[in-house]
Structure 1
């Protein structure tokens, strides 16, 4: 049985810029930085509060991708259509202020949602991330369903 997610991937165009963003701006930790014999660089970072999780930063290209696939991934990154995930925080508005001061580009300011407070930011490679301060409803599936149903009726 699967118990939790251990590694997820975010596509980037430059490893050094990725490290600057995730470590310098978001405050993540370097987890792994190893170059394999085939040239593939296994570079992972993660939030200090989640030591069991690694975000694999991958530049599209060989040996993982053929050139056509790599070009498609770069095109999608340039369009800004790759959503790479959601990060949880204890205080969305405070984290928004802290990250904004560090130069993180937000595409949505903190807003109240049925599940808590959410802001959305983008990395320097076109990936976007949701930043969530979850409330008690977020943990209760029935309450979430009712909140979304109620929210859609008033929209």
Structure 2
């Protein structure tokens, strides 16, 4: 049996605002943007080189969903963005205004630093030690 995670849903305030952030600041690509009617869209983005897993940008549609934007995991790191060159991406993100919550550190598993996206979701930028 072969399985993989296809999509991870991230709650957003506005589709276009989120698309702009992920493309302009993080260098992600827009995989799909399909209008589903009634203000709903199917928006998939992915970091460069990602083959299977995509992020589904899901516009909050209820007050309960809205209150969870930026805090889908109760303040823990939500997503782990693997890179083949930590320092290249760290410096590029900083130059584009991405907010890092800590200084980079070397751990037994790799080089890592936590950043937040435009909504406050916590991400690890991570280059694994091979």
The alignment's TM-score, normalised by the length of structure 1, stands at 0.74
Cα distance 1:73–1:46, how it changes in 2: closer, same or farther (>3 A)?
same
Matches within 5 A, 1:20-99: 20-61=20-61, 67-74=62-69, 76=71, 81=75, 83-99=77-93
Match of 2:103 among 71, 85, 109: 109
Residue 16 of structure 1 and its aligned partner are, at CA, apart by: 1.7
Q: Which has the larger radius of gyration?
A: 1
Q: RCO greater where, 1 or 2, for CA within 8 Å and sep 6 or more?
A: 2
Q: Aligned-pair RMSD on alpha carbons?
A: 2.1
> What SS does the aligned partner of 1:36 have?
strand
Contact 2:70 2:119 in 1 (8 A): no
Structure showing the higher helix proportion among its residues: 1
TM-score (structure 2 length as normaliser): 0.86
Runs (5+) with no aligned partner, structure 2? none
Gaps of at least 5 residues in structure 1 are: 62-66, 137-155
Equivalent residue pairs, number: 129
Runs of 4 or more off by more than 4 Å in structure 1? none
